[in-house]
Amino acid sequence: MIRRIQIDNFKSLDGFSLPPVGTQPLANFTCLIGANGSGKTSVLQVLDFLCYFMRGDIRAWLKDRGWEDDRLSSSFDSSPVDLFKASILIQLDPSTQAEWSVHYNLYTSECYEEKIVINGDTFLEVKDGDVTILEGNGPPRIFTELSLRGSALEALQVGPAPNPLRVIKELFSNNIATFELFSPHAVKRHSPHSKNMGKRGENLAGFAADLGTAIQRRISDRMREFYPSIQNVQVADDRELKSFFLFESENFLREVVYSPHFSDGFTRILAIVTQVESSNVSNRVLLLDEVEDGIHPEVMAKLIDYLVNSNTQVIATTHSPLILNYLTDDQARKSVLFLYRNWEGRSRSCRYFDLPSAKSKLGILGPGEVYVDTSIEQLIREAEEMERGASAQAGAVAQ
Partner 1 sequence: MILVLSGEGPTDIGTQEQVVTGWEFAPGPMAWIIDKLLEQKTNYSLLELNANGGDCVDFLNEGELAALRGSKPFFLPRGDDTPGNVSLRKGAYLLGKHAKGIVSERNSPVIAVFFRDADRTNSTPRTEWEGKFAAMIQGFVRADFQSGVPMIPRPKSEAWMLCGLLKGTNAKEDCDWLEDESGNDDSPKSLKGQLADHLHYRPTRDQQSELVSGGEIDPTLIDLPSFIAFRDELDRAYANAAPPLN
Cβ atoms 318, 32 nearer than 8 A: yes
For the bound state, the minimum distance from the C-beta of residue 396 to partner 1, rounded and expressed in Å, comes to: 24
For the bound state, the minimum distance from the C-beta of residue 378 to partner 1, rounded and expressed in Å, comes to: 7
Using the rule CB under 8 A, is 296 a contact of partner 1? no
Q: Which is nearer to partner 1, 141 or 302 (CB)?
A: 302
Using the rule CB under 8 A, is 365 a contact of partner 1? yes
Q: Which is nearer to partner 1, 375 or 399 (CB)?
A: 375
For the bound state, the minimum distance from the C-beta of residue 289 to partner 1, rounded and expressed in Å, comes to: 24
Q: Which is nearer to partner 1, 165 or 323 (CB)?
A: 323
Q: List the strands of the sheet with 347-351, edge to edge.
A: 176-178, 285-288, 313-317, 29-33, 336-341, 347-351
CA angle 315, 316, 322 (to 5 degrees): 135
For the bound state, the minimum distance from the C-beta of residue 128 to partner 1, rounded and expressed in Å, comes to: 53
Out of 280, 363, 396, 397, the only residue in the binding site for partner 1 (CB under 8 A) is 363
- Whole-angstrom CA distances from 49 to 86, 264, 328 are 11, 26, 32
Out of 374, 382, 383, 387, the only residue in the binding site for partner 1 (CB under 8 A) is 374
9 burial type by CB count under 10 A (0-12 exposed, 13-18 middle, 19+ buried): buried
Q: Which is nearer to partner 1, 206 or 366 (CB)?
A: 366
Question: Rounded CA gap, 116 and 135, in Å?
Answer: 11
Q: Which is nearer to partner 1, 141 or 361 (CB)?
A: 361
Number of residues this chain uses to bind partner 1 (CB under 8 A): 16
310-329 residues near partner 1, rule: CB under 8 A: 321-322, 325
Using the rule CB under 8 A, is 375 a contact of partner 1? yes
- Interacting stretch for partner 1, rule CB under 8 A, among 25-33, 96-104, 176-184, 357-365? 357-365
| Sequence-ordered list of residues with C-beta below 8 angstroms from that of 164, at least 6 positions apart, any chain | 92, 96, 98, 116, 118, 123
Question: Rounded CA gap, 297 and 303, in Å?
Answer: 10
- Interacting stretch for partner 1, rule CB under 8 A, among 24-32, 153-161, 268-276, 363-371? 363-371
Out of 60, 142, 372, 392, the only residue in the binding site for partner 1 (CB under 8 A) is 372
Q: What is the 3-state secondary structure (H, E, C) of 355-387?
A: CHHHHHHECCECHHHHHHHCCHHHHHHHHHHHH
